[in-house]
């Protein structure tokens, strides 16, 4: 494999990681590094041909011969990487904290060769054939182990297992959590390491919220669930296509219930990813292609080494570590912010449709198989916490809200279900743009947007918004407006765009230009007036991922009714909408 891929993914000026090194002429070395990247995993590395052949092991090694650990082969690393301990900056490949969890020498088992060259030749033959055994002489791991190609886990899937000998033990070796070099834990290295490029990186929203609530990162049912066992429950099928994702119901308040788990409500674009035979495609919730637009995520998925259908949310992360919703539509390159795909569900994996499995089992498989070595892909963490405390923490952090999902819920495509609910911190609503105004004497491209939603087949006026966009953004939007200009109001009447209010008793004289109701945007607001108009709205961003026909006024349902009446059937999402005028 060589180091070409390793070097392609890293910038020497922005990471303290090694880029070379010369191996010892007589012995073979190994290292296991504990790595808190997008999610925690262990990097298992064996020296061969002057580089470190590397596998990412999500659950870490085991000394129990009854346990086989998934190990996803990744790119070769330079020899000097075996001593690296420190912090890889967020935004760089594999961003996170690294410790040397174990190190030592190793050699092939059941082999009489004496020289290093003979041993390497034997090991490489086993590597290429998909099975080889070796003896580790580390500070924590000792004795005979094997790496075997995993059937049905893609070309990069392997299984790491301990073979039965005097060093075998049922005790959890990963509880020995300190570095064999510094004697420090990951947390201590993260707090004290000077081996880092640039300034201290901002914490992610998940890292912040974890400190604010007493929350476990895994559901009680997830413990000891092995992906191989759970996948047997799936239905054999070809890769899914044209998936319209399962949607959540808006409710009016947070709640506590041990049968539900909680997640951050991400402020981005919903996206379904299809990975098959090293080729990836990404679609919006309405099957619009995101494949080319968000190419770094497409590339990371293509190189993931798995065949899967994933559900998640695409975000742009700014320099402050927060999601920037407004930057999503016009994202062009990393200069516009870091792209991240937060994955929260797995629908199909290696020939098995698993949508009928309960949520906690799908998430257990996802946690085991999602690659951990590219920061563009992150596992959305699941918290079994006090839901009310979790919501209050999200509120203090000014997040969009939280998601609550029933642990037993199957995945129902193209339906709004009561098994998934969302609780918003601030009031926000998707709306359709039905026109724009120009104030007399203004030099701006437009002064406000005229907004509507669909109700019973009619396009209903809900007010106007005149704040939240820059002049640059307005110019970009005007290019989208031009082909949609029409002579008649799409609302069925002409709203009074010069109507005074108690806040603006003498508004400037404005003229309206009408648009076909096809473009969707999102606004925040404080409340809805008695005549159904938004009060103090502010523009948040365009929603190129949403279909105008689906935009209706979202009304929060009673949390208590949903929790107490769990048998309500999912509502199918339909496009049955009639335009009053176009």
Reading the chain (582 residues) residue by residue, the pLDDT tens digits are: 554 554 555 455 444 444 445 666 788 999 999 998 777 899 999 999 889 999 999 899 999 999 999 999 988 888 888 888 888 876 666 678 899 999 999 999 988 888 999 999 999 999 999 999 999 999 999 999 999 998 877 778 899 999 999 999 999 999 999 999 888 899 888 877 665 533 445 566 666 666 666 544 444 344 445 778 899 999 999 999 999 999 999 999 999 999 999 999 998 999 999 999 999 999 999 899 999 999 999 999 998 889 999 999 999 987 777 788 888 887 887 777 889 999 999 999 999 999 999 999 999 999 888 887 777 899 998 887 788 999 998 888 888 899 999 999 999 999 999 999 999 988 899 999 999 999 998 999 999 999 999 998 899 999 999 999 988 899 999 999 999 999 999 999 999 988 877 666 777 899 999 999 999 999 999 888 888 888 889 999 999 888 898 899 988 888 888 877 765 566 665 443 333 332
Query: Residue 284 maps to which CATH number?
Result: 3.30.470.30
Same domain (yes/no): 174, 283: no
pLDDT score at 22: 61
Catalytic residues: 265
Which of 171, 174, 29, 186 lies closest to 100 in space, CA to CA?
Answer: 186
pLDDT score at 499: 82
* Domain annotation covers residue 197: no
Rounded to the nearest 10°, the torsion over CA 319, 325, 329, 331 is 10
Judge whether 57 and 75 are in contact, CB under 8 Å: no
Instruction: Indicate yes or no: pTM above 0.75.
Output: no
pLDDT score at 211: 62
* Domain annotation covers residue 10: yes
| Rounded Cα distance, 399 and 252, in Å | 16
Same domain (yes/no): 450, 406: no
- For residue 574 the two structure tokens come to 């339909």
**Residue that is written with structure tokens 């580790």 in the block:** 136
* Domain annotation covers residue 483: yes
Neighbours of 90 (CB within 10 A): 18
Same domain (yes/no): 481, 375: no
* Domain annotation covers residue 392: yes
Phi, psi of 438 (to 5 degrees): -125, 120
Same domain (yes/no): 230, 287: yes
Judge whether 281 and 293 are in contact, CB under 8 Å: no
Residues in the chain: 582
**Residue that is written with structure tokens 């004496």 in the block:** 114
* Domain annotation covers residue 555: yes
- Domain closes at, from 167, 192, 217: 192
| Rounded Cα distance, 514 and 564, in Å | 46
- Cα Rg of the chain, angstroms: 27
Helix-strand-coil split of the chain, %, nearest 5: 20, 35, 45
* Domain annotation covers residue 542: yes
Which of 234, 74, 224, 75 lies closest to 158 in space, CA to CA?
Answer: 74
Q: Is 414 helix (H, G, I), strand (E, B) or coil?
A: coil
Q: Which residues fall within 8 angstroms of residue 235, CB to CB, at 6 or more apart? A: 352, 353, 354, 356
Which of 64, 60, 21, 11 lies closest to 39 in space, CA to CA?
Answer: 60
Judge whether 181 and 187 are in contact, CB under 8 Å: no
DSSP bridge partners of 539? 523
| Rounded Cα distance, 582 and 577, in Å | 13
- State how many domains the chain has: 3
- Domain closes at, from 394, 424, 454: 424
Judge whether 347 and 353 are in contact, CB under 8 Å: yes
Opening angle at CA 421, ends 351 and 407, nearest 5: 50
Same domain (yes/no): 434, 417: no
**Residue that is written with structure tokens 């049912």 in the block:** 221
pLDDT score at 535: 86
| Rounded Cα distance, 403 and 344, in Å | 11
pLDDT score at 184: 87
Same domain (yes/no): 478, 404: no
Query: Residue 436 maps to which CATH number?
Result: 2.40.50.140
Task: Say if residue 21 is exposed, middle or buried (CB neighbours under 10 Å; 0-12, 13-18, 19+).
Answer: middle
| Rounded Cα distance, 340 and 548, in Å | 26
| Rounded Cα distance, 158 and 481, in Å | 52
Same domain (yes/no): 475, 394: no
DSSP 244: P
* Domain annotation covers residue 446: yes
- Domain closes at, from 400, 424, 448: 424
- For residue 513 the two structure tokens come to 């230009």
pLDDT score at 49: 87
Phi, psi of 367 (to 5 degrees): -60, -30
| Rounded Cα distance, 391 and 384, in Å | 13
Same domain (yes/no): 436, 549: yes
Same domain (yes/no): 143, 184: yes
Phi, psi of 72 (to 5 degrees): -95, 120
Judge whether 409 and 428 are in contact, CB under 8 Å: no
Same domain (yes/no): 181, 209: no
pLDDT score at 130: 94
Judge whether 444 and 474 are in contact, CB under 8 Å: yes
| Rounded Cα distance, 382 and 371, in Å | 17
Same domain (yes/no): 401, 460: no
pLDDT score at 426: 83
Domain with 486 in it: 428-564
**Residue that is written with structure tokens 């997040």 in the block:** 399
* Domain annotation covers residue 16: yes
Judge whether 385 and 215 are in contact, CB under 8 Å: yes
Same domain (yes/no): 26, 168: yes
Please name the helix (run of DSSP H) or strand (run of DSSP E) that holds residue 564, with its range, or none: helix 559-564
Opening angle at CA 340, ends 336 and 346, nearest 5: 155
């Amino acid at each position: 494999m060589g180091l070409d891929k390793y070097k392609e993914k890293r910038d020497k000026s922005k990471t303290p990681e090694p880029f070379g090194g010369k191996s010892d002429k007589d012995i073979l070395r190994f290292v296991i590094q504990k790595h808190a990247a997008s999610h925690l995993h262990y990097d298992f590395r064996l020296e061969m041909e002057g580089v470190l052949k590397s596998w990412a092991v999500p659950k870490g090694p085991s000394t129990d011969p009854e346990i086989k650990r998934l190990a996803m082969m990744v790119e070769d690393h330079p020899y000097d990487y075996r001593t690296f301990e420190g912090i890889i900056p967020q935004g760089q490949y594999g961003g996170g904290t690294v410790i040397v969890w174990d190190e030592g020498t190793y050699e092939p088992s059941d082999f009489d060769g004496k020289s290093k060259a003979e041993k390497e030749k034997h090991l490489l033959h086993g590597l290429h054939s998909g099975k080889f055994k070796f003896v580790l002489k580390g500070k924590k791991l000792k004795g005979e182990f094997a790496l075997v190609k995993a059937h049905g886990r893609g070309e990069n899937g392997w299984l790491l297992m301990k073979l039965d000998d005097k060093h075998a033990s049922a005790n959890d070796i990963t509880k020995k959590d300190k570095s064999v070099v510094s004697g420090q834990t990951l947390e201590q290295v993260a707090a004290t390491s000077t081996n880092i490029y640039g300034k201290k990186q901002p914490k992610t929203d998940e890292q912040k919220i974890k400190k604010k609530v007493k929350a476990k990162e895994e559901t009680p049912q997830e413990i000891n669930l092995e992906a191989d066992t759970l996948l047997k429950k799936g239905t054999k099928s070809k890769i899914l296509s044209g998936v319209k994702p399962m949607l959540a119901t808006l409710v009016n308040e947070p709640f506590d219930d041990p049968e539900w788990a909680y997640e951050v409500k991400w402020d981005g674009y919903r996206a379904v990813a299809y990975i098959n035979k090293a080729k990836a495609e990404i679609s919006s919730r309405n099957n619009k292609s995101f494949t080319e637009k968000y190419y770094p995520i497409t590339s990371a998925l293509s190189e993931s080494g798995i065949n899967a259908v994933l559900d998640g949310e695409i975000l742009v992360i700014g320099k402050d570590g927060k999601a920037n919703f407004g930057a999503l539509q016009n994202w062009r390159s990393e200069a516009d912010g870091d792209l991240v795909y937060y994955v929260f569900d797995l629908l199909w994996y290696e020939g098995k449709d698993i949508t009928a499995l309960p949520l906690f089992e799908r998430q257990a498989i996802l946690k085991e198989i999602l690659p951990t070595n590219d920061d563009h892909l992150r596992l959305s963490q699941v918290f079994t916490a006090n839901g009310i405390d979790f919501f209050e923490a999200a509120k203090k952090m000014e997040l969009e809200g939280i998601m609550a999902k029933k642990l037993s819920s199957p995945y129902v495509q193209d339906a709004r279900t009561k098994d998934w609910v969302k609780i918003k911190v601030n009031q926000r609503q998707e709306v359709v743009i039905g026109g724009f105004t120009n104030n007399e004497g203004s030099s701006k491209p437009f002064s406000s947007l005229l907004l509507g939603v669909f109700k019973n087949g009619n396009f209903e006026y809900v007010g106007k918004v005149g704040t939240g966009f820059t002049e640059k953004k307005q110019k970009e939007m005007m290019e989208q407006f031009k082909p949609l200009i029409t002579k008649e109001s799409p609302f069925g009447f002409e709203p009074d765009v010069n109507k005074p209010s108690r806040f603006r008793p003498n508004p400037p004289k404005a003229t309206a230009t009408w648009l076909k109701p096809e473009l969707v945007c999102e606004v925040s607001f404080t409340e809805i007036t008695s005549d159904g108009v938004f009060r103090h709205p502010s523009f948040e961003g365009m929603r190129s991922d949403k279909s105008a026909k689906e935009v209706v006024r979202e009304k929060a349902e009673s949390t208590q009714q949903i929790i107490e009446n769990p048998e309500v059937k999912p509502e199918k999402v339909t496009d049955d909408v009639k335009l009053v005028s176009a």
